Amino acid sequence: MAISSTINKLSVTIANMDSHYYQSHELTLAQHPSETDLRFMMRLIAFMANASERLSFTKGMDSDEEPDLWQKTLTDEIELWIDLGQPDEKRIRKACGRAQQVIIYTYQERKAKVWWEQQQAKLQRFNNLKVFHINAQGVEAMIARSMKLQCNIQDGEIYLSDENSSLVITLDRL
């Protein structure tokens, strides 16, 4: 018998002073059985950092053809492709060829450092690529089947809180 995904219901209020985006989102997200709580929360942070009316979650881990998040135009062209972790150069090249802008978010510091040292020179040629490292120590403690989150973004820092805790999350550009 296969293990099924965990369904999480989220209410997220985003106030992004940097991009002047102020909106509440009611989300229902599946957490793949092999997806850790940390990675799930990183997907959510990537969403909050780039939130717009057209940004959406994809099949993610269930598909090699889609990123974790994307934003498409009304004519179905990919404006923004967002991947998490340490994708290989072939995937990045494909993403940069298909999307107007590509953002990669790394989140496990040791692995990300090694990956970046190996990839940095190869990735310099992609003008539509940005790579960030998410510093969000302890964020996985916020995960619950039903979450109410408040996200404030100012001067590149993300202030994330729920009923019990609050965190300051930074995005370091690599």
Residue-wise pLDDT tens for the chain (174 aa)? 457 788 889 999 999 999 999 999 999 998 888 889 999 999 999 999 999 999 999 876 556 778 999 999 999 999 999 999 999 999 999 999 999 999 999 999 899 999 999 999 999 999 999 999 999 999 998 988 899 999 999 999 999 999 999 999 999 998
Domains, the chain = 6-173 (3.10.640.10)
Which residues are bridge partners to 105 per DSSP?
84, 132
d(CA 71, CA 44): 15
Short-list 158, 151, 152, CA closest to 172: 158
Short-list 109, 143, 103, 124, CA closest to 10: 143
Task: Look up the pTM and report it.
Answer: 0.92
Report yes or no: 96 and 102 within 8 Å, Cβ to Cβ: yes
**Site of tokens 């229902």:** 28
